[in-house]
Structure 1
Amino acid sequence: MIGILHFAYGAPQSLDDLTDYFSHVLNGKTPPPPMMANIINQFARVGKADLIGGVTSRIASGLQQLLPTTRIYKGYRHTAPFIEDSVQQMLADGVTKIIVLPINPIFSQSGSGAVHAQVDTIVNGAVPVVHLNDWHLHPAIIALYANRVRRANNWLPQAAQQKAITFFTAHSQPLDTERNAPYIAQMEAMALAIAEAAALPAAQVAYRSAKERAKWLGPDVQEAIQTAVDNGHTGIITCELLSLAPDVESFFEIGADCQALCATLDIPFVQSEFPADSIDTVLALKEIITPHL
């Protein structure tokens, strides 16, 4: 039996789980009360149950229906079921091969790279392991994003569409030329492929969540929006590429925060939908997985 591990960063089940979640992110250190209060407030403001957990669970269920001869397992870096526990369960269940599928189309050393190393260490050669970390340009994924960003562009007032610009975004990274290189290359190649497939009038890569902008990848998406408006663009679209599923950071940083900025600039704004757990997303992932079965 082939086991497929579908993993993501974390999926708290309740607002009550957030302190444990972020303590795990901080290697066992409890966040200071003001920081924790701000985090809980952000999750509460979304007004929905955790976004990643719901999407990854439904993707896993969909893949199980489409790939009935395999077994789909979920795993998370910072919440249960933890990746290490899921991998141990796969081995206990007698899987003969493990396929590792991230929620992230774009590879980063600190993200998918760390999980790949973790899985390989746990498995220790007991069964073959296939890491799917190079599917950012798969035709089914490009078509998926092109469909959504084209819809976003068409949603703008017609007068704004011709000179609209789309910002393809991802979480920023600390500046480190060697470690950043694959992340930047995949990000830029994926953005270009989507922009061409969707026939967008203009597009640019930008980053979000930079802690220290001078020492992190840029440009910052809000600064890029301001520059674009100054240069005569008449509509703004944001499209996150780092993950198929929305999370709380992206909900605000390329959604509500950019929308508020555009309101002050008196320019139309629309956020492209995430692929999430829609049927075309699950079918695209099946297409990516199938050659490795």
Structure 2
Amino acid sequence: MMMNCGAMNATTSWSASHSSKIPMLLPRAICSTQRMCCGSGVHVDASVSTNVSIKAKDSMGWSGTSPSLYSKQPINKFLLPLRALVTSTSQDVPIASLIGREKVGVLLLNLGGPETLEDVQPFLFNLFADPDIIRLPRLFRFLQKPLAQFISVARAPKSKEGYASIGGGSPLRHITDAQAEELRKCLWEKQVPAKVYVGMRYWHPFTEEAIEQIKRDGITKLVVLPLYPQFSISTSGSSLRLLESIFREDEYLVSMQHTVIPSWYQREGYIKAMANLIGKELETFDHPEQVVIFFSAHGVPLAYVEEAGDPYKAEMEECIYLIMEELEKRKIMNAYTLAYQTQGAVREKAYSIPAFNKDMVGTIGNKNEKGVK
């Protein structure tokens, strides 16, 4: 059986694996309140940082009045200057701080997708025009949009065939809208009368459109929640980079209190929900104990992991461990495989729980392979 726990975009899938052993301790985040300044194209940040364990039940609460993201380690100088990356942690937002006369909003961030076949080519253009998806050397960045135009036109016919086979468009917007509505109902049941917004990175409703509605509604406190369980530069990072630039240029947003939930793959509810799905599916087999569980995850460029410190690979592997650990508690001891995909190949490594060592996550792929296909 196959489970897709990752939320990397399916259009660009590069390998992010290498052969070093990653200690899979629960990550600790550096929580920073930062005031971002911009001069000569260089970000300068002044921050006061405090180590916060994700095991702790207390929350940082709301950030200061400037755009506040969390930085775990600097990004390599050859990559874009994403100095305010949100990395591996998730937070509990105290409900008490939401109650009162404040207008609370929750912004769900997602990839987006073409809703009709006519949308496919412009959607692909938006995708490949993102410098977090295709990174060009500084001297060649002027080619970003021409290259995106060329790739999107070349890929559109095949992509249209794929979307045609599933009804003529992506269901992602409908699914995300349904999630937003269920979240709104849940919050209201908890006496938190919040409004929930959807902002897509590459198609309607764009993040910019969601922000304009947030401003029209007079929201004074905002929770930003990327719908990617694991953090990566090319998914949550790209959406948050865009959001940061929007906040920095808008006087209303600069004064808004906000908090960010960068990743949530290790949350108990998510882990148990995934285990429930797997357990239910195993029951459909005549010999469930013989079934190998196949986890599928998209890859990221090796440079993201080794040079930029992208935590996606480590968070994905820890996520799989936590799911299998939960299954083991339920006496489900199946062998399993985690596979990273590229366009032309799949790098995979099979593990089984009795032999799995959390501090020695298996190697996926070959360190010498850059994984760009």
Q: What TM-score comes out, normalization by structure 1 length?
A: 0.67
Q: Partner of 2:222 in structure 1? A: 98
Deviations 1:127-176 (A, max 9, x none): 12211123111111011100111122222231xx3232212221111112
1:193 aligns with 2:317: no
- Give yes or no for contact 2:111–2:201 (8 Å, CA) kept in 1: yes
Q: Partner of 2:292 in structure 1? A: 165
- Give yes or no for contact 1:22–1:30 (8 Å, CA) kept in 2: no
* Partner of residue 182 from structure 2, selected from 44, 48, 62: 62
Q: Partner of 1:47 in structure 2? A: 167
Q: Which amino acid letter does the alignment assign opposite residue 205 of structure 1?
A: L
1:120 aligns with 2:249: no
Structure 2: tracts of 5 or more residues without a match: 1-102, 130-144, 249-253, 353-373
**Cα separation, 2, equivalents of 1:114 and 1:78:** 10
**Cα separation, 1, equivalents of 2:202 and 2:154:** 21
**Cα separation, 1, equivalents of 2:198 and 2:111:** 11
Q: By how many angstroms is 1:207 displaced?
A: 1.2
1:23 aligns with 2:125: yes
Q: Partner of 1:84 in structure 2? A: 208
Divergent runs of 4+, >3 A: 30-34, 178-181
Q: Partner of 2:9 in structure 1? A: none
**Cα separation, 2, equivalents of 1:30 and 1:18:** 14
- Give yes or no for contact 1:120–1:129 (8 Å, CA) kept in 2: no
Task: Specify the structure having the higher radius of gyration (Cα).
Answer: 2
- Give yes or no for contact 2:107–2:198 (8 Å, CA) kept in 1: yes
Alignment map for 1:171-250 (pairs within 5 Å) = 171-176=298-303, 177-179=306-308, 181-198=310-327, 199-208=332-341, 210-211=342-343, 219-220=347-348
* 1:162 alignment partner, SS class: helix
Deviations 1:187-209 (A, max 9, x none): 0111111112123411232112x
Distance 1:150 1:173, change over 3 A: same
Percentage of pairs with the same residue: 25
Distance 1:47 1:81, change over 3 A: closer
Deviations 1:192-249 (A, max 9, x none): 11112123411232112x1465xxxx625xxx68x99xxxxxxxxxxxxxxxxxxxxx
* Partner of residue 140 from structure 1, selected from 265, 269, 277: 269
Q: RMSD in angstroms over aligned alpha carbons?
A: 2.4
**Cα separation, 2, equivalents of 1:90 and 1:32:** 31
Distance 1:189 1:32, change over 3 A: closer
- Give yes or no for contact 1:5–1:100 (8 Å, CA) kept in 2: yes
- Give yes or no for contact 1:60–1:74 (8 Å, CA) kept in 2: yes
Q: 182-191 or 113-122: which moved more? A: 113-122
Q: By how many angstroms is 1:67 displaced?
A: 2.1
**Cα separation, 1, equivalents of 2:300 and 2:242:** 21
**Cα separation, 1, equivalents of 2:173 and 2:333:** 32
Quick one: higher RCO (CA 8 Å, sep 6+), 1 or 2?
2
* 2:302 alignment partner, SS class: coil
Q: Which amino acid letter does the alignment assign opposite residue 219 of structure 1?
A: R
